[in-house]
Homo-oligomer: A and B are copies of this chain.
Amino acid sequence: MEKKVVVIGGGTGTYTVLLGLKKFPLNLSVVVSMMDSGGSNRVIRDEFGLLPTSDIRQCMVALSSENADQTLRKLFTYRYSLGTGITGMTFGNLFMAALTDIYGGNQEKAISKTCEILGVKGSIIPVTYDNSHLVARYSNGKQVLGEHAIDEPDGELVKHRIVEVELFPPAHANKKAILAIKSADIIVIGPGDLYTSILPNFLVKGIKAAVRRSRAKKVYVVNLMTRHGQTDGFTAGRHLDELQKYIGPVIDVVLVNNKNKYPREVLKRYEQEQAFPVVDDLENLQKPLVIRGDFVSERVYEKSKGDKLTRSLIRHDSDKLARKIVSLL
């Protein structure tokens, strides 16, 4: 029987892991954060009254079949750079919004039909179907609502630390997410923005308990770079501590990249955004098991036209990461 792998996340990091894992004969599921509120998602939430689908859309593209129509796959990564009110929207989100309307408002059905059209391998599971927003409390006492506002903090806020994140209103787990976590052989958490892509999943009622109860091996993939306004100065250990503050000391394996000879030019661009390579300070750790290796991609990623959000230039390598994860099974 195929081993059951559950990836928990959302965003580019999850996209990267999935792209590698789908090449292996696995029973693959991904539990996706539903708290995105920026760009295309703001329109989807506020103007269409739907749940945000950008994280889902990225997972769809990652897991779409090589045999599916390549044009449709390309369209799903397309972001409009023209048209008042359309610029910045992703084709995929507009596709799913139209389909949801056709299905009388049933977004779950629209998502599953889209997966079918794209020949998605594996299950893409929204962590919740509740309409909920991420709220962050900062070290200066301020509270900020909305994943987007937390992801790209402005003004004073970037100088302060996030003390706590929660959901408002509270969200309840999608039963399918609980079931997938329960029966998993391995659960992969990260890489991805800690506060805005990873932790929102564990704030959904029922997810944390399901992960703790699951007999799966729990693997945490540490980010390559820090993120200004969110994880400034965070070492690998600090990332792990912050994660376990929310889910408890359940992580069995930590994957840390130890090859970080990044191009100077790229590092400079990160420096301009006050982002730096994550320092590995896990030398003396007994538990979890720390596995170091070259997990980084040789490619430097650029963002597409019309995209106003910050995206990673330096990314994990899908295949290197997937091979290591599969070796843990």
Contacts and interface: CB of A to CB of B under 8 A. Distances in A.
A71 interface: yes
Interface in A53-70: 69
Given A69-B117, A83-B85, A86-B85, A75 B48 contact: no
B117 A86 contact: no
Contact of A48 (B43, B49, B83, B102): B83
Given A69-B117, A71-B113, A71-B117, A86 B78 contact: no
B75 A98 contact: yes
Given A94-B91, A94-B94, A101 B81 contact: yes
A113 B70 CA distance: 11
A124 interface: no
Nearest to A306: B101
B86 A102 contact: no
Contacts of A113: 71
A253 interface: no
Interface in A99-122: 99, 101-102, 113, 117
B98 A43 contact: no
Contacts of A282: none
Contact of A74 (B47, B75, B102): B102
A83 B43 contact: yes
Contacts of A69: 117
A47 B82 contact: yes
Chain A contact residues: over half helix, strand or loop, or mixed?
Answer: helix
A84 B117 contact: no
Nearest to A74: B102
A80 interface: yes
A71 B84 contact: no
A325 interface: no
A254 B48 CA distance: 47
Interface in A2-56: 43, 47-49
A162 interface: no
A157 B102 CA distance: 38
Given A84-B85, A86-B85, A75 B47 contact: no
B91 A75 contact: no
A89 interface: yes
Contacts of A71: 99, 102, 113, 117
A74 B100 CA distance: 12
A95 interface: yes
Nearest to A89: B86
Given A47-B86, A71-B117, A84-B85, 8 more contacts: A43-B83, A47-B84, A75-B99, A82-B97, A85-B85, A85-B86, A86-B94, A91-B98
22 contacts: A43-B86, A47-B82, A47-B84, A47-B86, A49-B82, A69-B117, A71-B99, A71-B102, A71-B117, A72-B117, A75-B95, A78-B102, A80-B97, A80-B101, A81-B101, A82-B101, A85-B86, A86-B89, A86-B94, A91-B95, A91-B98, A94-B94
Interface of A: 43, 47-49, 69, 71-72, 74-75, 78, 80-86, 89, 91, 94-95, 97-99, 101-102, 113, 117
